[in-house]
Amino acid sequence: MKMRFKSCFFFLVALYSGKLFAEEMPCGSVPKVANAQIEGRNKKIYEPGETIRYQCDVGFLIVGSPEIICREGNWTAPPFCEDVSCGAAPEIPNAFITSTQQERYLPGASVQYECERNFQMMGGNFVTCTNGEWSQAPTCRDVTCEPPPEIAGGNVQGVKKSRYLPGESAHYQCWQGFEMTGASTIVCQNGTWTELPKCKGKGGKCGPPPVIENGDLLSFPMKEYSQGTTLEYKCPSLYVLEGSRYISCTNGQWTSPPVCLVACTAAEEDMRRNNIEPKWIVGNKLYSRSGDFIEFQCKRGYVKDPASSPFRVQCTEGTLEYPWCKPGKNCTLDERTMERNNIRLRSSSWSSTSTYYSGDSILFECKRWYRQVSRPEKFSPECLDGVIKYPTCEWKWA
């Protein structure tokens, strides 16, 4: 009976001592958190109850409690450092960046823009990086005016231009037998003309047809035309006719005439030879007026040649200096790197091939039970001349 009592006693003591020992077990090295540093000295052994505090690197925001505690030989769950920096600043049609450009911007950083000549900035002239995203980008609106419209019973004095700058004016005169009401001069303001005058008269006859810059009528002009008369214009070589080539006399007013634009035409053959294509396309318009800029980019499978001229080209009196691209190296997915970075192809983009052309985008996602360490935009990198910049994920409970 005494022996059995002693055995139970020693068993309880051993059990209780083991529990105390387990509760007082120290912790090993501090868990690593990507893009974070710990405050204080890094040790190999930490006593029960010790607390460690993390601090994220610049451009990263801490998610979760910044502190972990050593309990029963284990650390409590560490936080996660979320990347809140921004990538390259957005590109805006008809605008250029005036501040120094970077590949990565810290939260609060701003990038300033300036519109091209004859374009007006709508909204602020900058974007700001907030929580890993850029604020809404401004736009550049064309503030030049189309040729002044024709009016019934009158016409524009002098030769019409294809475009008018803000502040420029046009003057009207009425034909003989017509009386003008309203101001005879109109002004180009923010891309539109001020109110047109009116010429009151009798009958539906039209006077001489409007003269267009760099264009001609296919018939000899007369002083007077009857109702319903139709005339045709033509433009010389190297000019582009914009609008209808025909005008009609309707109720004493000629319909709007076309304009002949001295243009730079982005020829398909030239672009194909240089392995380039327009970066900003409005419909099927592949021409631009003299003084305007055209931006090009490499076609799929090609990269910019270091010896190339700039990819932002100005149209100069009908001529363009084309940039050129050279064949780029294909990219092959590196399974080892993907495994090491805990990533896989996005399920919606699985493909039977592991080879991509230069310029192709590749969509990655974290493997199950892993979370993003790289910035969100890094999960859709481009194949650039044989190189893929792989994103990284880490174990959720690391």
Q: What is the 8-class DSSP label of residue 376?
A: G
Q: Where are any strands of DSSP class E within 104-203?
A: 110-115, 119-122, 126-130, 133-134, 139-142, 154-156, 169-174, 179-181, 185-189, 192-193, 198-200
Amino acid (one-letter) located at 43? K
In CATH terms, the superfamily for domain 266-326 is: Complement Module, domain 1 (2.10.70.10)
pLDDT of residue 330 exceeding 70, the answer is yes
The pLDDT-based confidence of 234 (bands split at 50, 70, 90) is very high
Distance in angstroms (rounded) separating the CA atoms of residues 126 and 128: 7
Residues 84, 66 contacting (CB under 8 angstroms): no
Query: ∠ CA 66-70-73 to the nearest 5 degrees?
Result: 145
> Phi/psi zone of residue 257: left (φ > 0), alpha (ψ -120 to 50 degrees), beta?
beta
* CATH class (in words) of the domain with range 331-395: mainly beta
Topology adopted by domain 22-83: Complement Module; domain 1 (2.10.70)
- Domains of the chain: which residue ranges? 22-83, 95-142, 154-262, 266-326, 331-395
Sheet of 133-134: strand order equals 95-97, 110-115, 126-130, 133-134
Q: What is the 8-class DSSP label of residue 349?
A: G
Averaged over 96-115, what is the pLDDT?
90
- What was the pLDDT predicted at 21? 43
Question: Tokens in use for 30?
Answer: 């501090």
The secondary structure element, H or E, covering residue 130 is strand 126-130
- What was the pLDDT predicted at 2? 47
Identify the CA nearest to 185 among candidates 207, 203, 164, 201: 164
Fold: same for 22-83 and 331-395 = yes
pLDDT of residue 282 exceeding 70, the answer is no
Topology adopted by domain 154-262: Complement Module; domain 1 (2.10.70)
* CATH class (in words) of the domain with range 95-142: mainly beta
pLDDT tens per residue across span 46-92: 999 999 999 998 888 888 889 999 998 999 988 888 888 888 898 88
Averaged over 252-267, what is the pLDDT?
81
pLDDT of residue 252 exceeding 50, the answer is yes
Residue 288 neighbours by CB under 8 Å, 6+ apart: 263, 264, 266, 294, 315
Strand, coil or helix: 260: strand
On average, the pLDDT of the chain sits at: 84
